[in-house]
């Protein structure tokens, strides 16, 4: 049996007890509710959430860092949803990950991604030149696609109404998604732009719990956007990006940004309600299941826009059970998806999700996060579910009536 001495002067204990009432882990009632709600369910391995809180509350920093729980946790916050004392697992685990003694536990890919982002502005190390080249090439394709010579994918234009912050995947392996989004922007008839200094919606500083890095990454988004003088920052479909840039923005940078932040589905719904965007649901003549990305739904309260949008572009939305604040993580949250060695584990963490997907009996499922999208697609392949997974905004783009 491991032995440990309680240490109420530990770094983690001191950090966590700076939080206000309700985030103070010392208040844990040890009621055990969290243990029954881990997104791993009864899958093999994985954390016992209460042990994380207790280790932190007793200053057992080393034991926590050396346990698998630190990185097995998907930061989905499902366990502490409904915690009687309002403790947030996400905060506790990220603080523990931020400890200096935890540096060696950070997955290699995440370390590299962070380095790339800080040094080059993009997790995938996309340079400004490469960005411009890519966007201009996609823009040419886009002209053909919408059959309008004046159409373009603009970048670095000052004073536009909208600024789109893409997911790195949209400038890499999923360029079609960028075209699809461009089509929607084009249809809003608003001025819009991309920014060469502003290519990445992700924030891996959030995954590793390092506030300074997270803040730097947020400012890398905020400052260029403010320099361009845009009215609205439109986030590509990204869970933790949404959580960091919309829900936590003010906490992280300590001020309100000089622009409004919306997600792509939120923007589309807004223009659809104004009657500017019109959709043909007949393009998708089926009902579709919707997966709530934890960071958007439970952790930021963004439940409605994706559902509203899906009901405009398909025959209707079918809920997974459970859903919304009780939604089950795709199994790829908390940085695990960004670790290329995690595939086997992700198929365990995603098993409950795969079961949920199967239970719908539907061949189509949508989500509003590109990370969830990738994990769900992999689950569908791995478990041979035969379910096609799409993002909400891309379905909207397909249904768009120009």
Partner 1 sequence: MKKTTPNILILGGGVAGMAAAQTFSDQDVAVHLVERESALGGHAAMWACMATDTCQNCGACLSIEMADQVQKQENVISHLDTIVETINKAKQGYKVILENKETFNVEKIIMATGFSLFNPVQINSLHYDEYKNVITTAELNTILQKETLSGYFNGKPDPKIAFIQCVGSRNREQGKDFCSQVCCKISMRHANKLTHLFPESDITLFYMDLQIIGKEVRPLFKTLSKNIALVQGVPAEILEDTETNMLTIVAEDKETQSRVSKAFDLIVLSVGMQPSPTLETTAGILGLKPNSWGFFNTDQAVLAEDVIIAGCANGPKDILSSKQDGRIAAAKVIEDLGLNTNNKLNIAVFGQGTQADQAAEIISSKGYSTYLFGPGTSLSKDTPVTFLNESNIISISGTAGNFSLYYESGNEKKYLTCAAIIAAFEPEQSLNRLENISNEFLSLDAFSQMIEKKPDTCPDNSVILLDYFGPEFKSFARLALKTSVKAKALGKNISIIMNKTLVHGALGQRLYDTARQQGVDFFRFETREDLKFEDSGNGFLIKLRETTLPSIELSLNCDCLVLPPSLTPAEGFKDAAALLRLPLDREGFLQSANTRHRLTRSSRKGIFFAGTCHDEIDKNDLDNEINDILSALSTESFELPDVDTGVEINQGMCAQCLTCIRVCPHSAIVMNKKNRPQIVANACFSCHLCVSNCPAYAIESKELTNDQIAQKVEKDKMVILACERSAALAAGSLTLPDHITLIPIPCACRISSDVILKALLNGASKVIISGCHEENCRSMEGSNIADASVRQVLSIPGMDASKVAWEPIAANETKKFERIISKARG
Provide the pairing of β-strand 162-165 with 192-193.
Answer: parallel
Please report, as residue ranges, which positions from 74 to 133 form the binding site for partner 1 (by CB under 8 A). 81-86
Candidates 10, 16, 46, 124; binder of partner 1 (CB under 8 A) is 46
Q: Does 50 bind partner 1 (CB under 8 A)?
A: yes
- Comparison of 63 and 191: residue with beta carbon closer to partner 1: 63
Identify which range of 39-47, 99-107, 175-183, 274-282 contacts partner 1 by CB under 8 A: 39-47
Q: Does 27 bind partner 1 (CB under 8 A)?
A: yes
Candidates 173, 227, 276, 359; binder of partner 1 (CB under 8 A) is 359
The DSSP code for 353 is H
Q: Does 6 bind partner 1 (CB under 8 A)?
A: yes
Backbone angles phi, psi at 203, to 5 degrees: -150, 85
Candidates 14, 45, 173, 258; binder of partner 1 (CB under 8 A) is 45
Q: Does 15 bind partner 1 (CB under 8 A)?
A: no
Site string for partner 1, 160-179 (x = CB under 8 A): --------------------
Q: Does 303 bind partner 1 (CB under 8 A)?
A: no
* Cα R_g (the chain), whole angstroms: 21
Candidates 11, 19, 23, 63; binder of partner 1 (CB under 8 A) is 63
The DSSP code for 288 is E
Q: Does 157 bind partner 1 (CB under 8 A)?
A: no
CB hemisphere CA count around 216 (13 angstroms): 16
- Comparison of 30 and 381: residue with beta carbon closer to partner 1: 30
Q: Does 3 bind partner 1 (CB under 8 A)?
A: yes
Q: Does 231 bind partner 1 (CB under 8 A)?
A: no
b/e code 315-338 from CB counts within 10 Å (16+ = b) = eebbebeebebebbbbbbbbbbbb
| Tokens matching residue 376 | 């769900």
Candidates 11, 23, 24, 66; binder of partner 1 (CB under 8 A) is 24
| Tokens matching residue 61 | 């920093």
Q: What is the spatial distance between Cα 70 and Cα 53, in angstroms, rounded to a whole number?
A: 11
384 φ/ψ sector (left φ>0, alpha ψ -120 to 50, else beta) = left
Q: What is the spatial distance between Cα 14 and Cα 2, in angstroms, rounded to a whole number?
A: 23
- DSSP H helices in 99-198: 108-120, 128-146, 175-188
Candidates 11, 19, 23, 54; binder of partner 1 (CB under 8 A) is 54
Question: What is the binding site for partner 1 (CB under 8 A)?
Answer: 1-6, 8, 17, 21-22, 24, 26-38, 40-46, 48, 50-51, 54-55, 58, 60, 63, 81-86, 321-322, 324-326, 359
């Amino acid at each position: 049996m491991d032995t440990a001495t309680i240490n109420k002067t530990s770094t983690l204990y001191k950090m966590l007890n700076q939080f206000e009432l309700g985030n103070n882990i010392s208040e844990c009632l040890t009621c055990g509710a969290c243990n029954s709600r881990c997104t791993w369910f009864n899958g093999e391995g994985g954390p016992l959430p209460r042990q994380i809180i207790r280790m932190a509350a007793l200053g057992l920093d080393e034991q926590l860092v050396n346990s698998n729980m630190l990185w097995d946790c998907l930061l989905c916050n499902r366990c502490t949803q409904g915690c009687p004392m309002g403790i947030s697992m996400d905060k506790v685990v990220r603080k523990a990950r931020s400890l200096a003694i935890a540096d060696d536990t950070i997955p290699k890919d995440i370390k590299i991604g962070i380095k790339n982002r800080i040094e080059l502005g993009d997790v995938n190390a996309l340079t400004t030149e490469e960005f411009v080249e890519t966007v201009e090439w996609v823009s040419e394709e886009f002209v053909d696609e919408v059959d309008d010579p004046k159409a373009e994918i603009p970048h670095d234009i000052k004073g536009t109404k909208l600024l789109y912050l893409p997911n790195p995947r949209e400038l890499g392996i999923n360029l079609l998604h960028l075209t699809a989004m461009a089509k929607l922007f084009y249809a809003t008839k608003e001025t819009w732009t991309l920014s060469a200094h502003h290519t990445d919606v992700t924030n891996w500083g959030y995954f590793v719990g390092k506030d300074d890095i997270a803040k730097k990454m947020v400012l890398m988004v905020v400052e260029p956007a403010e320099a361009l003088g845009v009215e609205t920052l439109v986030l590509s479909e990204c869970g933790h990006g949404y959580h960091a840039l919309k829900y936590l923005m003010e906490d992280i940078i300590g001020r309100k940004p000089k622009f409004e932040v919306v997600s792509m589905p939120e923007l589309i719904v807004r223009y659809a309600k104004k009657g500017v965007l019109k959709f043909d649901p007949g393009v998708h003549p089926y009902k579709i299941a919707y997966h709530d990305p934890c960071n958007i739904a439970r952790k930021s309260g963004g439940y409605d826009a994706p559902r509203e949008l899906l009901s405009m572009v398909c025959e209707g939305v079918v809920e997974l059970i459970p859903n919304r604040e009780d939604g089950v993580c795709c199994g790829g949250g908390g940085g695990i998806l960004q670790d290329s060695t995690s595939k086997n584990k992700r198929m365990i963490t995603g098993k409950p999700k795969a079961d949920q997907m199967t239970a719908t009996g539907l061949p189509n499922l949508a989500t509003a996060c590109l990370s969830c999208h990738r994990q769900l697609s992999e689950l569908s392949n791995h478990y041979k579910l035969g379910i096609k997974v799409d993002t909400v905004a891309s379905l909207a783009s397909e249904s768009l009536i120009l």
